[in-house]
Amino acid sequence: MSAPHTDVEQVEAANTAFYEAMERGDFDELSSLWLTPSDLGVDEEYHDPADSGVISCVHPGWPVLTGRAEVLRSYALIMANTDYIQFFLTDVHVSVTGDTALVNCTENILSGGPAPEDGDELGPLVGQLVVATNVFRRTPTGWKLWSHHASPVLAETGEDDENGRNGVNGANPDDSPLA
Amino acid sequence: MSAPHTDVEQVEAANTAFYEAMERGDFDELSSLWLTPSDLGVDEEYHDPADSGVISCVHPGWPVLTGRAEVLRSYALIMANTDYIQFFLTDVHVSVTGDTALVNCTENILSGGPAPEDGDELGPLVGQLVVATNVFRRTPTGWKLWSHHASPVLAETGEDDENGRNGVNGANPDDSPLA
């Protein structure tokens, strides 16, 4: 049973490459990691009723972006507004089923915007706790991103804090018996 | 090319069934809509290095929940704290690739908690704008949920409001050229 091990390692490497491309601000590399319909052998000219391989992306607090044009434009925008970004990934979990892989991870993000106009230094650094669900698809040239959904964690688990912000319907992670 | 049409219709029906089970507070129905490893022919006793078919769920503002025990417990908790919930789905987009389907949708949620102890009426109703990425897997008994990730939309697109809350790195949907 070495094949699943190899799959997991390859998917983890693709997931890491995605975040490293963001850290380097390497837009071309980032673009190459996202799935195209032609990666799946789908003719992009022919209208596919199932929209095979159409990518989507949700940045924290954003609405859904669908299709390569919208998704890649958002990354160009974010890179233009970010001078420094680093991702410390924790709790990485991979589930591979057939030719699709689901990766959940926690993105501990440290980032800073461009310098203010009258200064030479970085904008202030901010930290963010974000969780992500990344869906990858197996292609002849490796695992490619089909979907990225990232969202802010509004309250920590494990705290006994009745003042935590609400999640769904007044239930929040602090109320959860999971902690 | 009628097969993809059928796939899309079946996936949309599975997605709708998921939200309707929540609206009815039908925990058994909800549980039956989530994937199990046995749906995929995977032996649950055997340790699978790729964790095939392991489900995950992110509620708005929550950390990641992984595996049936954690995920289903969270729904039991939410149902216990919710007397009324209604989902108005908009912008539903389906992408089917092989045996996996990706659904993005906007959940316009209206919900209310249990009545206060001294009253007979519902708790106050609250509205929430949430976006979701739902991943479904084809099984012999229909399309089943592999992953659900829902997150709050913190600023509307299309507004020209410099005071919108930040998304990633100071970029937010209001700054986006997509609006």
Sheet (strand B56-58) strand order: B65-66, B56-58, B142-152, B125-139, B100-112, B84-97
Alpha carbons B120 and A93: distance in angstroms, whole number = 44
Tokens representing B152?
Answer: 């709050």
Asked if residue B172 lies in contact with residue B163, where contact means CB atoms within 8 angstroms, the answer is: no
Pairing of strands B56-58, B142-152: parallel
Is position B171 within any domain? no
Q: Give chain B positions within 8 Å (CB) of A113.
A: 169-170
- Taking only the tens place, the pLDDT of each residue in B81-129 is 999 999 999 999 999 999 999 999 999 999 998 877 766 676 789 999 9
Q: Which residue has the tokens 């919930």?
A: B85
Nearest CA in chain A to B107: A63
pLDDT score, position A142: 96
A108 assigned to some structural domain: yes
* Per-residue pLDDT, B5: 85
Give me the number of domains chain B comprises. Answer: 1
Would you say residue A107 lies in a domain? Answer: yes
User: CATH number, domain at B114?
Assistant: 3.10.450.50
In terms of Cβ atoms closer than 10 Å to its own Cβ (0-12, 13-18, 19+), residue B3 is exposed
- The DSSP result for B52-76, as a single string, is TT--EEE-TT---EESHHHHHHHHH
* B47 assigned to some structural domain: no
What residues form DSSP beta bridges with B112? Answer: B84, B125
How many Cβ atoms sit within 10 Å of the Cβ of residue A49? 16
Q: What domain range includes position A14?
A: 2-44+59-155
Contact B133 A64 (CB under 8 A): yes
Q: Distance between alpha carbon B111 and the CA centroid of its chain, in Å?
A: 15
Please name which of B58, B59, B56, B105 lies closest in space to residue B82, comparing C-alpha atoms. Answer: B59
Position B52 pLDDT exceeds 50: yes
Residue B165 pLDDT exceeds 50? no
Identify whether A170 is part of a domain.
Answer: no
Rounded to a whole number, what is the distance in Å from the CA of B16 to chain A's nearest CA? 17
Q: Nearest CB to A61: which of B74, B111, B154?
A: B154
Query: With contacts defined as CB-CB under 8 Å, which chain B residues touch A70?
Result: 178
In which region does residue B101 sit, left (phi positive, over 0), alpha (psi from -120 to 50) or beta (all else)?
beta
**Facing B104 at nearest CB: one of A56, A106, A167:** A56
Residue B173 forms part of a structural domain: no
Cβ count within 10 A of residue B41: 10
Q: Which of A5, A91, A169 is closest, CB to CB, to B78? A: A169
Q: Which of B47, B77, B95, B109 to mutate to test the interface with A (most CBs of A within 10 A)?
A: B95
**Residue A175 and residue B77 in contact, taking contact as beta carbons nearer than 8 Å:** yes
Q: How many residues does chain B have?
A: 179
Is B163 within the bounds of a domain?
A: no
Least CA distance to B125: which residue of chain A? A169
* pLDDT category of residue A85 using cuts at 50, 70 and 90: very high
Inter-chain touch B61–A165, beta carbons under 8 Å: yes
Residue A134 pLDDT > 80: yes
**Minimal C-alpha gap between B34 and chain A (Å):** 15
* A5/A134: higher pLDDT: A134
Give the Cα separation of A159 and A152 in Å (integer): 17
* Domain assignment of residue B172, yes or no: no
Q: What percent of chain A has pLDDT over 70?
A: 82
Nearest to A4 among B49, B99, B167 (CB): B49
Q: pLDDT tens for residues B55-73?
A: 999 999 999 999 999 999 9
Q: How far is CA A85 from the centre of its chain?
A: 14
B63 to A153: CB separation less than 8 angstroms, yes or no: yes
Q: Are the C-beta atoms of B98 and A35 separated by less than 8 Å? A: no
Nearest to B61 among A94, A123, A154 (CB): A154
Percent of the residues in chain B that have a pLDDT greater than 70, as a whole number = 82
